[in-house]
Amino acid sequence: MARTLCVANQKGGVGKTTTSINLAASLAIAGKKTLLVDMDPQCNSTSGIGFKPVERHPLVVDEPIRNSIISTKINGLSLLPGARSFRDVNVLAGGGADEARILVDHLEVGTSHYDFVLIDCPPSVGHLTQTALAASSEVFMPIQCEYFAMEGLTQMIEVIRGVMQTCPGKLSFGGILLTMYDPSLELTAEVESEVREFFGEVVFDTVVPRDPMVTEAPSHGLCVLEYAPRSRGTRAYIELCMEVLERD
């Protein structure tokens, strides 16, 4: 059965999509059959690895998910592309409990043969993110090393707890990842200390540094492992991949 990782944070610009792409690529390179699911209407995970958004989101069309899955240039990594259709966003985000359950079942059936499924969510705590959480076994939260890192985190955690209560025993806290880490800044050390003190072992040992290669890679439709294999960002995501595999 697949480990389904929901990469979520209500704040934008924290490295959520970057983490989704590069962790998925790292897992595939490590020999794990991996699917990246783009549930963000901005479709940055789709464009970030060189593909165009589709007209209709595969989760709302009346056909098997496998018909919409795209093979990428990385062996073992597939993509379920996103769509910018407002109608599809409303279907994914605005349905009631029954509609959400149908979407969750649709996703689970179509992805059961993968080792890992990574879901890239929009920067919100709305119904779209809640549906992704309900379909997941673990939630991953990237946090940028900045002054407002903890802002809104309580609300996000409450949403996660709500999903855990609705689906007892299914969803767990997979980990918190510190991103855009700059050891030369005093603020970075303060944020890291606060996050690690509060969340303890939930926080990954790996941190993702500020690295221009990480931010440049998506503009070329590549993950950083392809774009700059010797960069600090690539090393960080490989180390994160090893931690994720060790936590199995």
The pLDDT tens digits of the residues spanning 175-198 come to 999 999 999 999 999 999 989 998
Residue 168 vs residue 81, higher pLDDT: 81
Please enumerate in sequence order all residues whose Cβ is within 8 A of that of 174, keeping only pairs 6 or more positions apart, or say none.
Answer: 5, 138, 139, 140, 244, 247
Over range 44-61, report the average pLDDT. 92
| Domain enclosing residue 38, as ranges | 3-243
Answer whether residue 106 is part of any domain: yes
Answer whether residue 194 is part of any domain: yes
For residue 35, the domain's CATH number is 3.40.50.300
Answer whether residue 47 is part of any domain: yes
Q: What is the pLDDT of residues 115-167, one digit of tens each?
A: 999 999 988 888 888 888 888 999 999 999 887 777 767 778 888 888 888 87
Answer whether residue 185 is part of any domain: yes
Number of domains in the chain: 1
Q: What is the pLDDT of residues 99-117, one digit of tens each?
A: 567 777 878 778 889 999 9
Q: Mean pLDDT for the chain?
A: 89
Q: Please give the pLDDT value at position 99.
A: 59
